[in-house]
Amino acid sequence: MIGAFRAKRRGKVAEQTRVVGIDLGTTNSLIAFMQGDTPTVIPGEDGSPIVPSVVAFDQDTTSGFSVGNAARNVLLTNSANAVYSVKRLMGRDLTDVESELKLFPFQLAEGLQPNEVLKLNVGGLTLTPPEISAYILLQLKRNAERFFGHEITKAVITVPAYFNDAQRQATKDAGRIAGLDVLRLVNEPTAAALAYGLDKQKDGIIAVYDFGGGTFDISILKLHEGIFEVIATGGDTHLGGDDIDNLLTAVALDDIKGDLNLDVTTNPEIIQQLRKAVIEAKIALSANDTARITLQIPGTRGTTNAGAPDLSPLEIGDGITPKSAGTLTYAREITREQFNQLIAPVIARTAAPVQQALKDAQLSPEQIDEVVMVGGSTRIPAVRTLVTQLFDLESRNKKLHTELNPDEVVALGAAVQAQILSGTENAATNDLLLLDVTPLSLGIEALGGVVAKIIQRNSTIPASATEHFTTGVDGQTNVAIHVLQGERELAKDCRSLARFDLKNIPPMVAGLPRIEVKFLIDANGILHVSAREQRSGQTAEVEVKPTYGLTDEQVETMILDSFDNAEEDITARQVIEATNEANTILEAVAKGEKSPAWQQLTSNEHAEIKVAVDHLKAAIKGSDYKIIRQSIEQLDKKTRRFAEIMMDTAVTGALGGKTMSAASEGIDAGLNAPTNAPHAFAKADVDDGTPQNLIQIDKANPDPHGESTED
């Protein structure tokens, strides 16, 4: 009896600690767990471990929706009720996907605004991409619950390494909607390396090339004694097998229109049947030299370009042939050579992120020990040839690692990470540690529009960094904190993530407040920012939830632009910083002229200071930071005795009849005291003290209520 009770209790503990790993893919999704020491994929309702990432809504079904192969069938017959490849829409807005909507049967909700999350009309419902993804996760959750016989509430979900904050938040939202506590978001290439490392148990430098249905990732990891350290990552969140499918579909549509003068783009069902045919041809060309694309076009006899009925039989490869009255058959044979030429521009887009990742890791291709292939698109021979060349494998007698199923490897790695997070004992994972990285630098805008980077690109996460700032205006009581993402030196060239305000700072002389800004990136890659004025203890914080709409092309552009414009950016930054310092000194001198110390200077000293001030004012009107610096040095030399007299006067006045503590406070309040804070904030505009999106005052546009000119 006691033994039975203990066994039952152990079962309850297992249920409570069970964590599954999920690969939420563009084309297919999988769910896996650790079965003993081995990660294992859980089969779906039809016995297949792979669940197509297609969702259909049908009120005739018990649940009102279907996911997987059943939904795929609905897509072919009633496409208005089905959605596929929704991962490509996660965390994006209308402008990001407008160009490819013509190949998707998606009806967008009316009235969408820029930077607003997409909403789709499907099956009589209006849903966001996270809500649609939640149906896929719910189906995977049900598969696992049927397999285990108990409820599943905790999961690790994989995401492309180059997913930005909005896309990661959208993925976490989908998990919550599906009733899952998402313990961790794991980068897909890193998950694949976990599965690979668990199998191989060897040290070395591993490159994971992940080319899936909708995304491409490259990660370079160092594996040593069970520690997986990501040392560089890159990719494109809008590049994958879907692009190849869309390219083949577009070619076939042109054929149909050119050969038969027939436009079928207005028929969603025919588009989906054609898409299915080109995918089957694409898959066949991975094993065969030729493949055939065929499509039945019902309801028309068709015409020639001249307008006459076209009933003559055509050879395969020529385009359209009549099959029977009222039905036409489009047939085209495509060779692997033709296919390779057609898709070359698509797969070539993966080369630049690979080369950039190697550069970031400070490695040459020859220093990569192993290259792991992940994602269904890596089955294409031309892709494997390209990767072999990129990493110079043939000359080193090395081969790509393709022995693991590319469709399952990410889910298997997610199961490994899930086991680690479950806290239960497992000999296979006890000594494993995962160290991931952030793909872009993060910082804040400082006075003059320069960027103070706080966390650098490719920093290991979780990551935390702190830097101190100060105010730029006397008596400033509020500070506008502008959080930025990107590699450029100026705020206008980086992406704005969030704005918040540190309010109710006691009024002090400019430069005296000590504002501590702390950045924390959690294990999911989500950013938290806090600010604290150390003298008063005033605090403010924000969890950064950026607007939707950053494409990976924009992310890549950010990095490339940071190199292309590095010299120009640094020069602009040096001018701004020198100008800021010059303005601070000029204000101090102007303030000092009203003090008794000014009267103790000779007329020659007055004249020399005035000349130096005029030179500095003239210098800051130009764009040569060296001249500004030289003018600052000249003014500094001319005002040294003036500064000494002011200091003596302030100290003498502060010490009179006071304790040392009180005297110190008096000196601080009476001087334009410099601090070691490296950056200064501009003043924030506050109307009534209520939280709002505040605008940083720009000297060129002093109206704080005007529109911001920042990007």
- Which sequence positions are flagged as catalytic? 23, 87, 188, 210
Q: At a CB cut-off of 8 Å and minimum separation 6, what does 529 contact?
A: 444, 481, 483, 498, 500, 517, 518, 519, 520, 541, 542, 544
List, as own/partner pairs, every contact residues 617-625 make where C-beta atoms lie below 8 angstroms and the sequence separation is at least 24, other chains included: 617/586, 619/582, 620/578, 620/579, 620/582, 620/583, 623/575, 624/575, 625/571, 625/574, 625/575, 625/577, 625/578
Looking at residue 377, what DSSP letter applies?
G
Q: Please answer whether residues 653 and 666 qualify as being in contact, where contact means their C-beta atoms are separated by less than 8 angstroms.
A: yes
Q: Which residues of 185-214 are buried (b: 16+ CB within 10 A; e: fewer)?
A: bbbbbbbbbbbbbbbbeeeebbbbbbbbbb
CA distance 274 to 321: 15
Closest CA to 194 of 522, 415, 37, 470: 415
CB atoms under 10 Å from CB of 54, counted, come to: 25
Strand-pair category, 450-455 with 479-485: unpaired
The answer to whether 251 and 293 are in contact (CB under 8 A) is no
Q: Burial of 637 by CB count in 10 Å (0-12 exposed, 13-18 middle, 19+ buried)? A: exposed
* CA–CA gap between residue 514 and residue 520 (Å, rounded): 19
Residue 34's Cβ-count burial label (10 Å; 0-12, 13-18, 19+) is: buried
Q: Distance (Å, rounded) from C-alpha 261 to C-alpha 281?
A: 24
Angle at 81 between CA 77 and CA 87, to 5 degrees: 110
Closest CA to 711 of 577, 557, 584, 567: 557
Say whether 42 sits in a helix, a strand or coil: coil
- CA dist 199 to 206, 411, 703, Å? 14, 14, 63
Compute the distance between CA of residue 291 and CA of residue 294 in angstroms, rounded to an integer: 10
